[in-house]
């Protein structure tokens, strides 16, 4: 499967923003209903952390312009064991996270087809979406990036309309009543929400994953990362405020399409239908972007010797890579099926967030070891502290599966895969 050219940093920035502004912004209000409007504090904290991590990846791209994505960043700073761990962890996180994106798209399709709100209907729709975008990935990286950018523009339309609707109909009493539905203090609700909220910022590493696909990695990785994260942060905070200021938390918890519901309440069902359709398009584009992330990670892993050569050679991703990824995502979609889409979404994003935050922590440590300036070392330390704090805030139910995954991967390394480096950039 040949790759179709290099990406300009602006297009890469839209991929970063598009990979973040997808299922997170569309379905997270329902997943955060139990936390309530106090989750806005979590959004601000996560935004600050995401910008810091964007600076980490900018520094890595500037320091190691020839590294091939996250596996290369980890290996250059910490050795092959951590390069292998990073490859498997991020690949797994991307595949599991893709299922959550499909769940979000299905939720908005349920606005038009109520049968999709049932467990069986939702699962079948999830599978159809997964295989649709898996097939599209065969067309190439630049084609997938353009698709992600176009769907981002389309997908932002309902978010902007929802923000306007929220500004017009914002009710301080509704916002205040939803502050903490459980009655627990902020010291409990805000930290507990961070693992879920940070799901919406997963994608900050997208430009780094595509470091070998941008025109000038030394500059473009940083530019794309910071621009994409900044755009996403502004939209997330405004949209979250709008939703909790109009829809009570108890009602929001049962919603499969929060923004369409908000628009319907303010402007009518006909406008909400258009918004829901845009949301489906955007979530599908995000799914395509993350299928690309998974494929590029597997290709880089193969070229570093962490995965079989059948996943990629000579800068090309083989067709076996997306097909195997599609099969794994299909299994995850079936096994994670819940009575409600919100329940399935919450389970998937919790595990994905913890896995990805662990990858971020490894990249921060790698930057600290290879950084040439005090500024980069400081950024690495702050990014590491945030990553660890976000993982610590996650529920034990998400951390334990992650520890199990790390144990299995470590065992595989010491039993079968420990051998001299085959870094393709050094060959």
**Which pLDDT score is estimated for 421?**
47
Answer whether 314's CB lies under 8 Å from 305's CB. no
Round to whole Å and give the CA distance between 39 and 56.
25
Which tokens belong to 190?
Answer: 């805000």
Contacts for 184 with CB less than 8 Å, ≥ 6 apart: none
Which tokens belong to 398?
Answer: 């998400």
Q: Which DSSP category does 373 fall into?
A: S
Domains of the chain, with CATH numbers?
A: 9-420 (1.20.1740.10)
**Which pLDDT score is estimated for 374?**
92
Bridge partners, residue 313, by sequence: 316
Which tokens belong to 392?
Answer: 């610590």
Q: pLDDT by residue (tens digit) across 10-68?
A: 777 777 877 777 655 666 787 788 888 888 888 888 889 888 998 999 899 888 888 87
Contacts for 337 with CB less than 8 Å, ≥ 6 apart: 119, 122, 123, 344
**CA end-to-end span of the chain:** 22
Residues of the chain with pLDDT under 50: 1-4, 421-422, 424-427
Contacts for 118 with CB less than 8 Å, ≥ 6 apart: none
**Which pLDDT score is estimated for 427?**
44
**Which pLDDT score is estimated for 24?**
56
Bridge partners, residue 317, by sequence: 312
pTM: 0.76
Q: Which DSSP category does 114 fall into?
A: G
Round to whole Å and give the CA distance between 166 and 161.
9
**Which pLDDT score is estimated for 3?**
45
Element housing 316 (H / E): strand 316-317
């Amino acid at each position: 499967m040949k790759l179709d050219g290099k990406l300009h940093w602006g297009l890469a920035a839209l991929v970063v923003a598009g990979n973040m502004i997808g299922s997170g912004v569309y379905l997270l209000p329902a997943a955060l209903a139990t936390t309530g409007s106090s989750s806005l504090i979590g959004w601000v904290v996560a935004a600050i952390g995401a910008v810091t991590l964007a600076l980490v990846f900018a520094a890595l791209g500037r320091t190691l312009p020839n590294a091939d994505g996250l596996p290369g960043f980890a290996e250059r700073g910490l050795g092959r064991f951590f390069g292998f761990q990073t490859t498997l962890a991020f690949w797994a996180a991307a595949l599991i996270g893709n299922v959550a994106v499909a769940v979000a798209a299905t939720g908005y399709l349920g606005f038009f087809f109520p049968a999709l709100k049932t467990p069986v209907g939702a699962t079948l729709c999830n599978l159809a979406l997964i295989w649709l975008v898996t097939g599209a990935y065969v067309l190439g990286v630049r084609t997938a990036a353009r698709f992600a950018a176009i769907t981002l523009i389309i997908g932002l339309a309902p978010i902007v309309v929802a923000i306007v609707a929220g500004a017009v109909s914002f009710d301080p009493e509704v916002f205040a009543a939803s502050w903490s539905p459980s009655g627990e203090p902020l010291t409990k609700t805000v930290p507990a929400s961070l693992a879920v909220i940070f799901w919406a910022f997963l994608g900050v590493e997208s430009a780094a994953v595509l470091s070998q696909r941008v025109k000038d990695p030394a500059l473009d990785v940083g530019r794309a990362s910071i621009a994409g994260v900044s755009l996403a942060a502004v939209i997330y905070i405004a949209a979250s405020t709008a939703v909790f200021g109009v829809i009570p938390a108890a009602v929001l918890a049962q919603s499969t399409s929060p923004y369409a519901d908000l628009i319907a309440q303010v402007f009518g069902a006909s406008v909400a239908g258009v918004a829901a359709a845009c949301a489906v398009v955007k979530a599908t584009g995000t799914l395509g972007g993350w299928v690309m992330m998974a494929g590029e990670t597997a290709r880089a892993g193969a070229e570093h010797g962490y995965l079989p050569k059948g996943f990629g050679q000579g800068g090309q991703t083989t067709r076996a890579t997306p097909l195997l990824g599609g099969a794994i995502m299909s299994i995850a979609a079936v096994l994670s099926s819940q009575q409600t889409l919100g329940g399935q979404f919450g389970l998937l994003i919790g595990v994905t967030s913890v896995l990805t935050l662990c990858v971020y922590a490894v990249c921060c440590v790698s930057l600290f070891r290879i950084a040439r300036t005090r500024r980069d070392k400081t950024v690495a330390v702050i990014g590491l502290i945030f990553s660890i704090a976000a993982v610590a805030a996650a529920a034990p139910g998400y951390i334990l599966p992650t520890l199990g995954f790390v144990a299995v991967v470590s065992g595989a390394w010491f039993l079968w895969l420990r051998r001299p480096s085959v870094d393709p950039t050094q060959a």
